[in-house]
Amino acid sequence: MKEPVYYPVETPLGEMRVYIQDARPAFITLPGVAASGKAAEQPAPEEVSRLLSTVRSFFSGEEVTERYAGALIGSIAVTPFERAVLTEVTRIPRGETRSYGDIAVLSGYPRAARAVGNVMHDNPFPIVIPCHRVIKSDGSIGGYGGAEETKAWLLRFEGGKLER
C-alpha cells in the first residue's frame, strides 16, 4: 500500500493537513495531530483544492459547512447511524452548539448520546463537518480528540459562548 500524501493548509491554529487517497480527500488532521505520510509533490487534484480552499474560507469567517459537507459525507463509508449524526451536525449554524444528546435525538437515535460522541471522535473532516460545535449537555466543552483548547478556540472564533 502506498504511503499517504497530504496537502498542508496554514491556519491561525497552525498547519492542518488534507490527506488524500486515490486522488480524493481521505481525512483532515488538526494542528499538532500526527499522521503518517509525506507532503504531496504534485498539484492538488480539483476536489482536494476545493477542500483546501474551504478550510481557508472557514478561517476567513465564512460558513463553509453547507456548501461542502454533504459531498464529503457521501464520499465516505459510514453506517446509517453515522451518516445521520454527521448530517445533523452539519446543520448546526456557525456560532451555535448542540449537545451530544441533542444530536442523538435530532438524528433519530434518542438514546445514543455516547455513540454520537464516538462519531464526533472519528469525524474524518473536522472544520468542514463541524464536530467542534457539539458539546456536553451541561454546557462544558467535552472532548476533541485531546485538543480541547483547539475546540474552545474554534467556538470562540465562531462567536459561540462557553460555560467554562
pLDDT tens digits, residue range 108-152? 999 999 999 999 999 999 999 999 999 999 988 887 777 888 999
What is the per-residue pLDDT across 55-64, written as a single tens digit (0 to 9) for each?
A: 999 999 988 8
- For the chain, the average pLDDT equals 89
Question: What per-residue confidence (pLDDT) applies to 3?
Answer: 76
What pLDDT is recorded for position 1? 56
Catalytic center residues: 131
pLDDT at 130: 94
Cell 488538526 belongs to 30
Residue 81: its H or E element: helix 80-89
Residues 56-74, mean pLDDT to the nearest whole number? 87
User: Residue 73: is its pLDDT beyond 80?
Assistant: yes
Share of the chain above pLDDT 90, in %: 59
Q: Where are the domains of the chain?
A: 5-59, 79-157
The length of the chain, given as a count of residues: 164
| Cα distance between residue 107 and residue 126, in whole Å | 19
Q: How far apart are CA 59 and CA 157, in angstroms?
A: 9
User: 0.85 exceeded by the pTM?
Assistant: yes
CATH code of the region 79-157:
1.10.10.10
Query: How far is the C-alpha of 46 from the C-alpha of 25, rounded, in Å?
Result: 10
User: Is residue 136 packed enough to be buried (19+ CB in 10 Å), middle (13-18) or exposed (0-12)?
Assistant: middle
Q: What are phi and psi of 25, to 5 degrees?
A: -60, 135
- Contact between residue 54 and residue 68 where contact means Cβ atoms under 8 Å apart: yes
How far apart are the C-alpha atoms of 20 and 3, rounded to whole Å?
A: 10
Calpha distance 56→46 (Å, rounded): 15
Alpha-carbon gap, residue 149 to 68, rounded angstroms: 25
